[in-house]
Amino acid sequence: MNRVYKMTGRRFSEKCKSSVLLIIVVGTGILFCLPVLVLLAGSLADEVEWTQRMEAVIRNNSGYIIWKWIPDYPTGEHYRRLLFYTPQFLALFWNSIKIVSCILIGQLLIAVPSAWAFAVYEFRGKRKLFSLYIILMLLPFQVTMLSKYLVLSDFNLLDTHLAVILPAVFSTFPVFLIYRSFADIPRELLEAARIDGAGEVRLFMQVGIPLSGNGILAAMVLGFLEYWNMMEEPMAFLKDKSLWPLSLYLPEISVEQAGFASAASMLALIVSLFIFAIFKDTLASGIISSGIKG
């Protein structure tokens, strides 16, 4: 704690100021989380109630959406309908799981060694190559969309899940994130291990990876959030809707079916929240280890 800012004697006005700031910080935080609560509340109201609430929208008149935090007749009907009577939902859910797990595993196999190479070894053109990796990372999808489309088309991968998985596996973003964690490992440690007779691969597996576990995990969690919600790639490369991930199913539900849409969103969100809750501390320290000191 910065001692410079610690007051030696707390006066009433200081405490007041402190309390006001606390309210602002926590209040804004809760405000930020409101949309999730809105969805949760909305998903528990049945269709009849939603029709009532959305009357102004349906009739397109000059009323407003009526909102109640606690539904008059709470119901799980949307969730039931989604989980048991909407096979597309489950199919797309599993599509998402499949796509994301394949991507993450692929990234682990490809990006982690690449980051290690950049962090630990010297070779000609290393700076330039890393610079190129950063540029590639910054390009929005639409810039490389055409080139990816052409290559995928040549390999006949369009309309298969590989069309989405393969380009993502070779993304340079995780290389950037994980590089920092590896670069923080002290050289002396590596040298000592080498002198003790460790081969390069052993060094990587038994020294590098354990020490950077946090950074790697954080990159994976960030990757999960990114690919669980990805939209542009499947939209561009998958014409067959049965191959779509969950993230593309949600927009298909119209706003008049707000209850149903809310439930579907909650279910999609729950997975993210789950991963989030498990890994939140790792995520925080991992973000730090990949970002600090520039």
Partner 1 sequence: MPSKRMYNCTWRNKPRRRAAGKRYVKFLFLLPGLAGVSIFVLIPFADVVKRSFYTALSGEFVGLKNYMSVMQNTAFRLAVSNTVRFASICMPILLAAGLILAVIINQHGKWERFKFLYLLPMAMPAATVVLVWKMLFIKQGFVNSWLGSHIDFMGEDSAFYILVGSYVWKNLGYTLILWLAGLKAIPEDMMEAARVDGAGKTAIFFRIVLPNLKGSAFTITILSFLNSFKVFREAYLVSGSYPQEKIYLLQHVFHNWYTNLDFDKMAAGAVLTALVLGSVSILLQKLWDNAD
Residues 121 to 160: which contact partner 1 by CB under 8 A?
121, 123, 129, 131, 133-151
Judged by CB under 8 A, the residue of 14, 73, 251, 278 near partner 1 is 251
H helices present in the chain, as ranges = 12-43, 47-53, 55-59, 77-85, 87-120, 126-138, 141-154, 162-169, 173-183, 187-195, 200-202, 209-211, 213-228, 232-237, 246-249, 258-291
Nearer to partner 1, 36 or 90 (CB): 36
Query: Computed over its alpha carbons, how large is the radius of gyration of the chain?
Result: 25
For position 217 contacting partner 1 by CB under 8 A, the verdict is no
For residues 292 and 45, give the distance between their C-alpha atoms in angstroms, rounded to a whole number: 45
Sole window of 8-16, 75-83, 168-176, 209-217 interacting with partner 1 (rule: CB under 8 A): 168-176
Quick one: CA dihedral 224, 226, 231, 233, positive or negative? negative
CA 2 to chain centre: 33
CA diameter of the chain: 79
In the complex, what is the shortest distance from the CB of residue 11 to partner 1, in angstroms, rounded to a whole number?
16
Return the range that interacts with partner 1 (CB under 8 A); candidates 71-79, 86-94, 209-217, 246-254: 246-254
Within residues 2-31, the interface with partner 1 by CB under 8 A covers: 2-5, 18, 21-22, 25-26, 29-30
Q: Is 73 in the site for partner 1 (CB under 8 A)?
A: no
CB of 163 to partner 1, least distance (A): 10
Told to check if 167 binds partner 1 by CB under 8 A, we report yes
What is the Cα–Cα distance from 265 to 246, expressed in whole angstroms?
Answer: 9
Task: List beta partners, residue 45.
Answer: 74
Cβ(239)–Cβ(164) below 8 Å: no
Q: Which of 10, 16, 23, 36 binds partner 1 (CB under 8 A)?
A: 36
Nearer to partner 1, 172 or 243 (CB): 172
Reduce the DSSP state of residue 76 to 3 states and report it.
coil
Q: State the minimum distance, in angstroms, from the CB of residue 192 to partner 1.
A: 12
**Residue 243 C-beta: closest distance to partner 1, Å:** 17
Interaction residues for partner 1, span 259-278 (CB under 8 A): 261-262, 265, 268-269, 272-273, 276
Q: Tell whether residue 109 is a contact of partner 1 (CB under 8 A).
A: yes
Distance CA 264, CA 253 (A): 9
Supply φ then ψ for residue 244, to 5 degrees. -65, 150
CB nearer partner 1, residue 90 or residue 146: 146
Contact between 91 and partner 1 by CB under 8 A: the answer reads no
Say how far apart CA 104 and CA 257 lie, in whole Å.
33
Q: Tell me the window of 44-52, 79-87, 191-199, 209-217 that interacts with partner 1 (CB under 8 A).
A: 191-199
Q: Which of 15, 16, 63, 189 binds partner 1 (CB under 8 A)?
A: 63
Write down the least CB distance from residue 36 to partner 1, Å: 7
